[in-house]
């Protein structure tokens, strides 16, 4: 009988402990959801204030810009500038690209002075046409073979000489 009473007391105690744990977890969850709601309200208010500040700043800028444009008789017009110059030859193609901007002064809408070009960067590109070099060396070798004079013969193969020359040029580029 004492065992039955003891088991009953332990069982009811465990049930009350479970009820208490569920109650505590529910209270924690209510507290967390209330905290999340406060945090979301704070973020909304912060974003609203930031938007108002952005709108006010933009309107003040536009007012200043309009009043400055009405009072100013001078305007400087600026636009991007790009110029490409290149030479194309049988053996090599080279290009120079100039990048910068052009600006010009206008007084009361009328251009005064010539536009000025300001170059910011100059890029040089060069490309060797290896096919044409090989072709020219092959033709030169063929011509030299047709000439009967032993004085015009080179010590080695002209094609090997040209290939070595191309390798030297490539290694200098890298």
Instruction: Give tens-digit pLDDT for 40-98.
Output: 999 999 999 999 999 999 999 998 888 776 767 788 889 999 998 888 777 778 889 99
Domain boundaries, the chain: 1-72, 73-127, 130-173
Span of 99-108, 111-120, 141-150 with lowest mean pLDDT: 141-150
Kindly list the strands in the beta sheet with 74-88, ordered across the sheet, starting from the edge strand earlier in the chain. 74-88, 92-107, 110-128
Confidence class for position 136, pLDDT limits 50, 70, 90: confident
CA separation for the pair 108, 70 (Å, rounded): 11
For the record, the structure tokens of 82 come out as 């790009």
CA separation for the pair 83, 117 (Å, rounded): 11
What pLDDT, on a 0 to 100 scale, did the predictor assign at position 139?
79
| pTM, to two decimals | 0.38
Q: pLDDT tens digits for 3-55?
A: 888 888 888 999 999 999 999 999 999 999 999 999 999 999 999 999 999 99
Cα 39–chain centre separation: 36
């Amino acid at each position: 009988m004492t065992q039955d009473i003891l088991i009953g007391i332990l069982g009811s105690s465990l049930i009350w402990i479970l009820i208490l744990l569920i109650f505590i977890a529910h209270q924690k969850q209510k507290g967390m959801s209330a905290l999340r709601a406060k945090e979301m309200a704070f973020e909304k208010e912060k974003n609203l204030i930031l938007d108002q500040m952005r709108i006010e700043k933009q309107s003040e800028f536009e007012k200043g810009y309009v009043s400055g444009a009405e009072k100013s008789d001078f305007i400087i017009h600026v636009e991007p500038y790009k110029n490409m110059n290149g030479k194309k030859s049988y053996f090599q193609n080279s290009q120079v690209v100039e990048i910068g901007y052009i600006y010009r002064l206008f007084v009361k809408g009328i251009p005064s002075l010539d536009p000025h070009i300001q170059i910011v960067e100059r890029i040089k590109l060069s490309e060797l046409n290896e096919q044409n070099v090989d072709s020219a060396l092959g033709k030169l070798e063929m011509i030299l073979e047709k000439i009967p004079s032993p004085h015009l013969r080179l010590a080695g193969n002209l094609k090997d000489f040209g290939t070595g020359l191309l390798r030297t040029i490539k290694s200098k580029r890298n």
